[in-house]
Structure 1
Amino acid sequence: WAELFALQDRYGFVIASDECYSEIYFSGNKPIGGLQAAQQLRRSNKGIVMFTSLSKRSNVPGLRSGFVAGDAGLLKAFLLYRTYHGSAMSIPVQRASIAAWNDEAHVIENRRLYQEKFDKVLPILQTVFDVRLPDASFYIWLKVPDGDDLAFAKTLWQQAAIQVLPGRFLARDTEHGNPGAGYVRIALVADVETCVKAAQTIAALYRS
């Protein structure tokens, strides 16, 4: 954050921090947010906004419930934009959102379940692939043996009905290559049993 702030001071850009995954972490290593970092480094919120939502912390992406906080000047302009381009949530969705934002017990359980999935899935995949526990989030970045992430994803879908995302789709081709190429992103969003079964299927498919 200190390095990012130094660059902001030098070039004058706005920091829009996507913190939707901030409550999915392991071993008590809670990440620090942009506004928290600014406060600890005795900076103002000028030029900084953070976004978050219920989608990851509560596993309810369909609610489209979140908030933005930070620089009052930027938020004033954002509010005007939101007024003309946003849409209001229905009353039932608002009530569900209130319940989710006010409860931390399910968030703690959510983190526990993700930890369990990683604990059970990684050892299975590591018998065949180069893969490790991420610092946070609920994704596994699996290195594809032959480097063709698109073909790997197609094979899993065609032969096992397992969906993964080719890493190249999450970046762009540049003169230095595509940083996502050669990897697939696996989302551990299903229940524990389903994730374990999928890992076993993937390993068996490439072990043979």
Structure 2
Amino acid sequence: KEIFDLQDKYGFVIASDECYSEIYFDDDKPIGGLQAAAQLGRGTHNIVMFTSLSKRSNVPGLRSGFVAGDAELLKNFLLYRTYHGSAMSIPVQRASIAAWNDEEHVIANRRLYQEKFDRVIPILQQVFDVKLPDASFYIWLKVPDGDDLAFTRNLWQKAAIQVLPGRFLARDTE
């Protein structure tokens, strides 16, 4: 509701990245942007959602996904996509169809993430203030002195543990 109130105030388009929407750890599946809009009686004006098989099925190389929402916005997206996209080969289309039609592997994938978190969280809690995220397959750690690059270099040099500094994936903002 808060983001929709802000949209009403400022008139922006909501582009909801829902590629991770099927990675959650309890029976309370999170709702998507279009579902939230429908529940609030808003329709799809100025809202689109994006999703893919990348996270859902662990197949980022297929580059299979879709966008749904405001038909007027999608007209321009289709034009953009026509000139900046590429068609999928028949084998990729068939693999995509199989993945989109199968929920069992998604449930198994979610269970495997849960098992991995169940193993690693107690170990990390011995040193870090960390808990199971609500929905993710990442763990973001607050590192000593806040220097993620120095921390990752130290892990590699002293323990041959390879991790990615958070600054490589994002930037600090207010």
* Paired residues, number: 174
Q: 1:67 to 1:161 in 2, by over 3 A?
A: farther
Q: 1:127 to 1:16 in 2, by over 3 A?
A: same
2:25 maps to which residue? Answer: 26
Structure 2 distance, partners of 1:151, 1:66, is 37
Matched letter for residue 116 of structure 2: K
Alignment partner of 1:52: what SS? Answer: strand
1:9 maps to which residue? Answer: 8
TM-score (norm 2): 0.95
Structure 2 distance, partners of 1:28, 1:100, is 22
Structure 1 distance, partners of 2:53, 2:172, is 32
Quote how far apart the aligned CAs of 1:173 are.
4.3
Alignment partner of 1:103: what SS? Answer: coil
2:131 maps to which residue? Answer: 132
Contact conserved, 1:129 with 1:145, CA < 8 A, in 2?
Answer: no
1:36 aligns with 2:35: yes
**Identity over aligned residues, as a percent?**
85
Structure 2 distance, partners of 1:117, 1:161, is 20
Structure 2 distance, partners of 1:109, 1:170, is 27
Alignment partner of 2:102: what SS? Answer: coil
> More strand by proportion, 1 or 2?
1
1:172 aligns with 2:148: no
1:62 maps to which residue? Answer: 61
Name structure 2 gaps, 5 residues minimum. Answer: none
Alignment partner of 1:146: what SS? Answer: helix
Structure 2 distance, partners of 1:71, 1:111, is 30
Q: How does 1:153-168 map to 2 (within 5 A)?
A: 153-168=152-167
Alignment partner of 1:68: what SS? Answer: strand
Name structure 1 gaps, 5 residues minimum. Answer: 177-208
Q: How does 1:74-85 map to 2 (within 5 A)?
A: 74-85=73-84
CA RMSD of aligned residues (A): 1.3
Structure 2 distance, partners of 1:97, 1:162, is 34
Q: 1:157 to 1:89 in 2, by over 3 A?
A: farther
TM-score (norm 1): 0.80
Quote how far apart the aligned CAs of 1:30 are.
1.0
